[in-house]
A = this chain, B = another copy of it.
Amino acid sequence: MATIKDVAAQASVSIATVSHVVNGTRFISDEVRERVQRAIAELDYQPNRVARNLRSSSTRTIGVIVSDIQNPFFPSVVRGIEDVLQAAEYTLLLGNSDWNLARERLYLATLRAEGVAGIIFTPSSEDVTEYQQFLKSGIPMVAIDRAPVGWGGDAVTVMNMKGAQDAVAHLIGQGHRRIGLINGPLQIGTAYERQTGYEQALIAGSLPIIPELIRNTDFRQTGGYETMNELLNLAEPPTATFIANNLMTLGAIQALYERNLHMPADMALIGFDDVPWAIALQVPLTTVAQPTYALGATAARLLLERLREPKLQSRHVVLETQLLVRASSGVEQATVDTSVKT
């Protein structure tokens, strides 16, 4: 690989001149500039980013830690991040925390060592002190999807409580009185908020909160599958269920399918987070859609702004969710949304 020295020699100039031509950081006569550019082309020179990073003690790399890249929610978020970063000529270091604090810690340490300019992440802990040390180190961090209690940094989240409330209110409106909840672990902020929304909706509808209908599992497909089976095995199962994420919903549908139960007659269902295949299911799925791409893009934008102006006041952007009513929640076919989401 050609270095700046090679280019300088080839063009018979100093390395400073080459650097300034490359970065446009000072005036260079046309003649010299052309000579340098020719040398760069001839040698196929590309500035070594590692050296540049070391020298300027800053990189053009952003670390991204997501909970589970295999959950379609996150690729879409990542895609939003990537598009914004790419336009700003940043690159993206990716890690999966697996909803796991230890793994998240490992990645955070790695990202710091890699000298990333900033970090966008889905916090695995609700405890801010977990990140305090990191925040002190001065690396800007943007929390997405959820923010630890008392998080002082930038954040982009969605209206989880409102989204859940809308969903459950809709079920109540359909006449359901025993409504189940399949949720993730309460330590995770989004799960907590969605559960609160569920409870608020019940209260608003003058319905009792029945503990046996509220289940917390992991946010995975198997969790949804097993938990729906638990609900169905109750002496008096719910007639409708709100499920707090997409993969758990898939597992739950699987459980219904195996027992030959039909939505919405045997069980009405609303899931959280829309998915491309909601429309192609046995019964099209009512969901609370999240603006996933915007979530990522907004987070990236906040981060880039902070990089430009470090002392900006921190901002917490809360995006809206949208209840997409389809057949699984028990509405006449006529009003069903069958549009293709792409």
Task: Determine if A49 and B95 form an interchain contact, defined as CB atoms under 8 angstroms apart.
Answer: no
Q: Is A240 an interface residue (CB 8 A)?
A: no
A253–B247 CA distance with the chains assembled, in angstroms: 20
Nearest-CB distance from A277 to chain B (Å)? 5
Contacts of A61 in B (CB 8 A): 93, 114
Nearest-CB distance from A290 to chain B (Å)? 15
Nearest-CB distance from A52 to chain B (Å)? 9
One complex includes copies of this chain to the number of 2
Contacts of A115 in B (CB 8 A): 48-50
Task: Give residues in A with beta carbon < 8 Å to B.
Answer: 1, 44, 46-51, 53-54, 59, 61, 69-70, 72, 74-76, 78-79, 82, 86, 91-96, 106, 109-115, 133, 137, 220-222, 225, 247, 250-251, 253-254, 257-258, 275-277, 279-283, 338, 340, 342
Task: Determine if A72 and B69 form an interchain contact, defined as CB atoms under 8 angstroms apart.
Answer: no
Nearest-CB distance from A228 to chain B (Å)? 12
Contacts of A113 in B (CB 8 A): 46-49
A53–B82 CA distance with the chains assembled, in angstroms: 24
Task: Determine if B281 and A137 form an interchain contact, defined as CB atoms under 8 angstroms apart.
Answer: no
Task: Determine if B258 and A280 form an interchain contact, defined as CB atoms under 8 angstroms apart.
Answer: no
Q: Of A53, A111, A137, which is in contact with the most chain B CB atoms at under 10 Å from its CB?
A: A53
Chosen A-B contacts, 20 in total, with CB atoms closer than 8 Å, are: A48-B54, A48-B113, A54-B54, A61-B114, A69-B78, A70-B72, A70-B75, A70-B76, A82-B95, A91-B95, A91-B114, A92-B93, A92-B95, A94-B94, A250-B280, A253-B280, A257-B338, A280-B281, A280-B282, A281-B281
